[in-house]
């Protein structure tokens, strides 16, 4: 089945009791049993809920994996993956990652004995030198946040396969419509469902997709033991959002490409970071592992100051200044003071997050309206 059909149908069946075409919202915490232990597959909604279950089946099908697990946020999903590790273990991460990912490793798990280091993964040839005796996991984001760096998933998977390390890919920016890391060799795919999968800025949720049965059992055990699971109404909203994922990602990508070209020609712009541009260093790799280049892009101003970036984002009207991304509406963000404020300035500058860097989540509005909004804000 093609993914354009899967987003609408995979894992979803008409309700057996009524024929309802939409998955019902099973707003219940518990389930009646015929005799102790004799039930219909559901005992308690932290462990499993029918609405969430359908969403997990749907997500697994989209990522071409056997299993899916949903969480109350993307960070709860990340937290569950890190619980696979023990004190003394080490994780090697790509340097340009979501600020919260950096924070959970450095501010939460380092204290509990889990070591992490952050290195530039764009040049795969020097990755092996950073793998330590105690390295158990490699964690990468591609395209990355906010620099839109591209990492060759297949090449990294060759290394992790050979060295028996777990490869975790945060696929939030691409979504399974644009990129499927499992067939390329990734072990665990992580999503902030809050972003493109939900797609309408009305749900906070996370997900993991994977093939390995043993890993799935461990993760499901930690999920149920620690309890960061999403509610049935959010699961329903997400199932509804995913139905238009293919259409939305097509338009997000088309609009972002046009805006990237427009900004590149603008006199006040210094650099534009978008993997769809031919001069982007990851363009070749992105073309081979992605269907289209997505809706996220970043740019810097020639006048590289916090003040000039503030002036631009304050003047935008159609683009709204807000954290988050991936909804139908266009958003602008200032990583240095917003999403990446928890990263020390030296670290931030090293990965390219300059003072004037502005990140756009290009929505699905009319392209002329978006372009005119940028034009008036920049002038």
Ligand X SMILES: *Cc1c(COP(=O)(O)O)cnc(C)c1O
Q: Which residues are catalytic?
A: 46, 98, 170, 195
Residue 90 burial by Cβ neighbours in a 10 Å radius (0-12, 13-18, 19+): middle
* Sole binder of ligand X in the list 23, 192, 201, 298 (CB under 6 A): 192
Nearest residue to ligand X by CB is 74
* Sole binder of ligand X in the list 50, 143, 206, 232 (CB under 6 A): 206
How many residues bind ligand X, per CB under 6 A? 16
Nearer to ligand X, 103 or 155 (CB): 103
Cα–Cα distance list, 343 to 60, 149, 363 (Å)? 32, 18, 27
Tokens of 113: 């004995």
What are the residues facing 140 on neighbouring strands?
169
Nearer to ligand X, 115 or 175 (CB): 175
Cα(68)–Cα(54) distance, rounded to whole angstroms? 10
* Sole binder of ligand X in the list 49, 51, 135, 172 (CB under 6 A): 172
Q: State the Rg of the chain over Cα.
A: 21
Which of the residues 49 through 88 are near ligand X (CB under 6 A)?
73-75
Q: Give the shortest CB-141-to-ligand X separation in angstroms.
A: 6
Which of the residues 110 through 169 are near ligand X (CB under 6 A)?
141, 145
Nearer to ligand X, 73 or 356 (CB): 73
Nearer to ligand X, 143 or 377 (CB): 143
Nearest CA among 67, 45, 340, 10 for reference residue 207: 67
Nearer to ligand X, 82 or 377 (CB): 82
Indicate whether 170 belongs to the interface with ligand X (CB under 6 A): yes
Indicate whether 195 belongs to the interface with ligand X (CB under 6 A): yes
Cα–Cα distance list, 267 to 93, 136, 300, 308 (Å)? 36, 47, 12, 14
Which of the residues 269 through 288 are near ligand X (CB under 6 A)?
none
Nearer to ligand X, 79 or 355 (CB): 79
Extended strands (E) in 240-317: 269-273, 296-301
Indicate whether 231 belongs to the interface with ligand X (CB under 6 A): no
Cα–Cα distance list, 120 to 94, 132, 148, 269 (Å)? 6, 16, 13, 25
Q: Give the shortest CB-73-to-ligand X separation in angstroms.
A: 3
* Sole binder of ligand X in the list 49, 65, 180, 194 (CB under 6 A): 194
* Sole binder of ligand X in the list 7, 182, 204, 263 (CB under 6 A): 204
Tokens of 338: 């917003």
Please give the span between the terminal C-alpha atoms of the chain, in angstroms, as a whole number. 48
Interacting residues of 366 by C-beta distance below 8 A, sequence separation 6+: none
Q: Which stretch binds ligand X (CB under 6 A): 26-34, 59-67, 191-199, 292-300?
A: 191-199
Indicate whether 23 belongs to the interface with ligand X (CB under 6 A): no
Q: Give the shortest CB-148-to-ligand X separation in angstroms.
A: 12
Indicate whether 100 belongs to the interface with ligand X (CB under 6 A): yes
Cα–Cα distance list, 257 to 244, 253, 369 (Å)? 20, 6, 15
Indicate whether 179 belongs to the interface with ligand X (CB under 6 A): no
Q: Give the shortest CB-170-to-ligand X separation in angstroms.
A: 5
Nearer to ligand X, 166 or 203 (CB): 203
Tokens of 336: 């240095």
Tokens of 331: 């958003």
Residue 375 burial by Cβ neighbours in a 10 Å radius (0-12, 13-18, 19+): exposed
Which residues in this chain contact ligand X in the complex, by CB under 6 A?
Answer: 73-75, 98, 100-101, 141, 145, 170, 172-173, 192, 194-195, 204, 206
């Amino acid at each position: 089945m093609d993914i354009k059909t899967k987003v609408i149908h995979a894992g979803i069946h008409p309700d057996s009791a009524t024929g309802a075409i939409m998955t019902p919202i099973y707003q219940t915490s518990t389930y009646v049993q015929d005799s102790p232990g004799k039930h219909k597959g559901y005992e308690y909604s932290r462990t499993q809920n029918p609405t969430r279950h359908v969403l997990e089946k749907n997500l697994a099908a989209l990522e071409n994996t056997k299993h899916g697990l949903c969480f109350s946020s993307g960070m709860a999903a990340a937290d569950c993956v890190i619980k696979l590790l023990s004190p003394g273990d080490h994780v090697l991460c790509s340097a340009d990652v979501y600020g919260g990912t950096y924070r959970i490793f450095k501010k939460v798990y380092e204290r509990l004995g889990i070591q992490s280091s952050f290195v530039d993964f764009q040049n795969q040839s020097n990755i092996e030198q950073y793998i330590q005796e105690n390295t158990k996991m490699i964690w990468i984001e591609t395209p990355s946040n906010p620099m839109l760096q591209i990492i060759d998933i297949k090449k990294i998977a060759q290394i992790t396969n050979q060295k028996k390390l777990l490869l975790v890919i945060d696929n939030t920016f691409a979504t399974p419509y644009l990129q499927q890391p499992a067939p390329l060799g990734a072990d665990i795919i992580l999503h902030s469902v809050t972003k493109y999968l939900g797609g309408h800025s009305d749900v906070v949720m996370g997900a993991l997709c994977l093939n390995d049965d043993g890993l799935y059992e461990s993760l499901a055990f930690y999920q149920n033991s620690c309890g960061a699971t999403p509610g049935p109404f959010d699961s329903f909203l997400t199932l509804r959002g995913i139905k238009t994922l293919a259409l939305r990602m097509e338009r997000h990508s088309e609009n972002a490409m046009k805006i990237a070209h427009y900004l590149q020609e603008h006199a006040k712009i210094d650099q534009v970071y978008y993997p769809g541009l031919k001069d982007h260093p990851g363009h070749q790799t992105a073309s081979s592992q992605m269907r289209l280049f997505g809706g996220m892009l970043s740019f810097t101003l020639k006048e590289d100051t916090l003040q000039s970036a503030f002036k631009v984002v304050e003047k935008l009207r159609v683009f709204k200044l807000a954290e988050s991304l991936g909804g139908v509406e266009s958003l602008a963000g200032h990583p240095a003071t917003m999403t990446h404020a928890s990263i020390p300035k030296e670290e931030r500058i090293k990965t390219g997050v300059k003072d004037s860097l502005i990140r756009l989540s290009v929505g699905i509005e009319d392209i002329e309206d978006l372009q005119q909004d940028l034009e008036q804000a920049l002038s």
